[in-house]
Structure 1
Amino acid sequence: MSYFYALMLLVPVLATCLAFLPCSHWTIRSLDFPRVQIAVLCVLALIMTAVYPPSPVWLAWLVVITNVIAVIYQACKIRPYTRLAHKEVLSNQDADDDRTISLLSSNVLTPNHNSQALIELVHRYKPDLVLTLESDQWWQDALECLHADYPHRVAIPLDNLYGMHLFSRLPLEETEVLYRVERDIPSICSQLVLRSGERIRIYCLHPTPPSPTESDTSAPRDAELLLVGKQIRERDETALVFGDLNDVAWSHSTRLFKKVSELLDARIGRGMFNTFHAHYRFLRWPLDHIFQSPEFQIKQMAKLSDIGSDHFPIYAKFQYCPAEEHKHEVETADTEEMSQADEKIAEGREEAN
């Protein structure tokens, strides 16, 4: 019985170790998500061991030492997304001007019909861009009231939980709806014309998550992210990438995407901005992302109120400062990491076909 008790206390340690496996199956990659939750379980295991230590003594020490190592490791993974870390993106408190751009991204959840809650947020924050994910024909009809304020639009109403709608106050050029990896999973690529007349590239993404009901592995998701990352790198373009990426900020695949694309994450040093799951406080992690080129500085970032979806919307406002991009430190992928990206892209495409 003591050995079974000790095994229960070692569960968070096992979860920590399994996440190291270079396996793309959902049973392993899903362990990338609950870093905070695993750390909490490690602490609880240590408390339980102190109050009710398993026997023999060596077993209790095994539980203590391994859980301490695991909680330190998890804390190191989480720390960049707390206020204890150095901010990766500079703050900008200047008055808004023609180079200011704001966006709101929201996974609305197809069965959720509380469109008024989202419309109220749009009216309150007045973002330049609004991206809805999982939006079908019902949501397209419900959001027609936004058309007067958002004359530039891309509509992809789908019933497969991967519909997507982009609303823009600013002109969109060279807009493409792309199915990069899976033939029923769209993404949007467009050139946005700022009020200053300058142009930036935007990418709206919602790849499939690794889960028993979606994709058996993370390969298609990783491939789509890395394809976009490589395109940004090869074009050497100023870009914003946003959407529900179905991945957490601290995972290996997202960090590889950042290095390949040479984009920045404004959450680093500011907080996690956990957008999922809106209804279960203990089961929350950051799935909705906004990445930006070093030409941008952050003016505001916020997780918005519940709209009835399983995701909270996320809002951000940026200042375009191309003359100050050198003030940011940008991670870049080395030759080995670029080769790894190519392998992941090939794996994802092979699985999708």
Structure 2
Amino acid sequence: MNWRKLFQVLGIVAALLSLMPLVAADFWWIRIFDFPHLLLTSFTFIAIVLYFFVFKPKFINDYTYILILLACFGFQLTKIIPYTFLYPTELLEIQKVSNQQNDISLYVVNVLQKNKDQSAVIKDIKDVNPDIVLALETDQKWANSFRTELQNKYPFMVEQPQDNTYGMLLYSKLPLSDTKINFLVDKEIPSIETKATTSQGEIIQLYAVHPTPPMPQHNPMSSDRDKELMLVALKAHENDLPVVVMGDFNDVIWSDATQLTQRIGKLLDPKKGRGFYNSYHAEYFPLRWPLDHILVSNDFRFVAMGTRPYVGSDHYPLYLKVSLESEIKEEQPVQIIEKQDWQRCKDQMSKNGMSSFLELPNQLRDLMN
């Protein structure tokens, strides 16, 4: 067997798969390659090292191959470096000294509907003791267990149990108001919109989402996922309250769709400069990437974040504690929304007449006319 040729072929395959998401198409077999970006980056790096130290380049074809791999590796790094310690944090650290009255803790877990170990999830929630809990893939069985175990500590709740793996349960210690269960894109796919009032009387706008992934057994296109995220981003953009968007996005944070959601929504990512916080797949280490996210407006400051231990699901729970410090929000500016961002937003919203769902920002309305 010619190992040199084999590694050349495998290296080129890794490069091509990394570049696949650059194709402007919503087909699942293209968008799916956003997910294993960490794995492909690692493979490219290993291929470069092995080629240098094992095969020792001799011919012009060898150097051409290495240059192609190095260019691919450079592109791959630009996607993931923002989520390492080499990049500055986007959500800044807390400024106030241990004023816990301003702290808000958030917990999101995709329980895996068929997971029978409900006690493990409930125990972890009790151990963390967050202010707000979002549980996804929850049917009536999960709703009954959660209500029995959590209602004393979490008297405010929004429950939308479903049997199609898209049920949602939201439990809160903070009073909730103006609650809506929306079906923004599909009558079977809910999202939650509600306001939470802190102990200091501050009102926070919460959006909870769990769109369909671009996979053949769920949805052969990424269009519905991207449209739902964009609709929520537009709601966040128009909202003057402190905003939290949380859930299983069924998308990695470095993808173009989620990056656009963050910019349009004027949201900050606590993962930037801190780590990937891979939440899926909990049972297969090589196939692990960040699917669960909590994005916040610049009214908040970072206190703590982490993934939680295994609870019998294919997802690890994700936990974030922030401090509400709206009075110094201007110290951490959000990303600038460029004209091309609004154009891409327009393209998403124009699909199937989605622009009729909410009042559009002036910048987008001008583009759509």
For 1:348 and 1:287, the matched residues in 2 are separated by 26
Aligned to 2:366: none
For 1:228 and 1:301, the matched residues in 2 are separated by 23
Deviation track 1:81-109 (CA, whole Å, cap 9, x = no partner) reads 01111011111263243322111100000
Deviation track 1:15-71 (CA, whole Å, cap 9, x = no partner) reads 122221111111111111122111111122223423554998233223211111111
Equivalent of 1:298 in 293, 302, 323:
302
Deviation track 1:211-264 (CA, whole Å, cap 9, x = no partner) reads 121111111111011111111112333200000001111111111111101110
- 1:65-84 equivalence runs, <5 A: 65-84=67-86
Deviation track 1:298-338 (CA, whole Å, cap 9, x = no partner) reads 11101100001000000111110011101102103223211
Distance 1:348 1:10, change over 3 A: farther
For 1:88 and 1:79, the matched residues in 2 are separated by 13
Aligned to 1:308: 312
Aligned to 1:321: 325
**TM-score, normalization: structure 1?**
0.95
2:7–2:47 contact (8 Å) kept in structure 1: no
Counterpart check, 1:137 vs 2:133: no
1:5–1:54 contact (8 Å) kept in structure 2: no
For 2:190 and 2:122, the matched residues in 1 are separated by 24
Equivalent of 2:167 in 148, 155, 163:
163
Aligned to 1:88: 90
Gaps of 5+ in 1: none
Report SS of the residue matched to 2:221: coil
Report SS of the residue matched to 2:273: coil
1:187–1:206 contact (8 Å) kept in structure 2: yes
Aligned residues: 350
**TM-score, normalization: structure 2?**
0.91
Equivalent of 2:207 in 203, 207, 212:
203
Counterpart check, 1:188 vs 2:192: yes
Distance 1:197 1:55, change over 3 A: closer
Report SS of the residue matched to 1:331: coil
1:219–1:348 contact (8 Å) kept in structure 2: no
For 1:329 and 1:147, the matched residues in 2 are separated by 38
Distance 1:28 1:54, change over 3 A: farther
Counterpart check, 1:220 vs 2:224: yes
1:4 CA displacement: 5.6
Code of the aligned partner of 2:119: Q
1:3 CA displacement: 5.2
Aligned to 2:347: 343
1:189 CA displacement: 0.1
Gaps of 5+ in 2: 355-369
Code of the aligned partner of 2:287: L
Report SS of the residue matched to 1:24: coil
For 2:53 and 2:89, the matched residues in 1 are separated by 39
Aligned to 2:290: 286
For 1:196 and 1:320, the matched residues in 2 are separated by 10
Report SS of the residue matched to 1:165: strand
1:76 CA displacement: 1.7
Report SS of the residue matched to 1:10: helix
For 1:106 and 1:17, the matched residues in 2 are separated by 31
For 1:56 and 1:50, the matched residues in 2 are separated by 10
CA RMSD of aligned residues (A): 1.8
2:105–2:131 contact (8 Å) kept in structure 1: yes
2:51–2:57 contact (8 Å) kept in structure 1: no
Report SS of the residue matched to 2:322: strand
Code of the aligned partner of 2:336: T
Distance 1:188 1:36, change over 3 A: same
Matched residues, percent identical?
33
1:348 CA displacement: 6.6
Aligned to 1:242: 246
Equivalent of 2:337 in 327, 333, 339:
333
Equivalent of 1:43 in 40, 45, 60:
45
1:198 CA displacement: 1.2
Report SS of the residue matched to 2:121: helix
Distance 1:253 1:273, change over 3 A: same
Distance 1:334 1:50, change over 3 A: closer
1:263–1:294 contact (8 Å) kept in structure 2: yes
Report SS of the residue matched to 2:18: helix
Deviation track 1:139-168 (CA, whole Å, cap 9, x = no partner) reads 111212101111111111111010010001
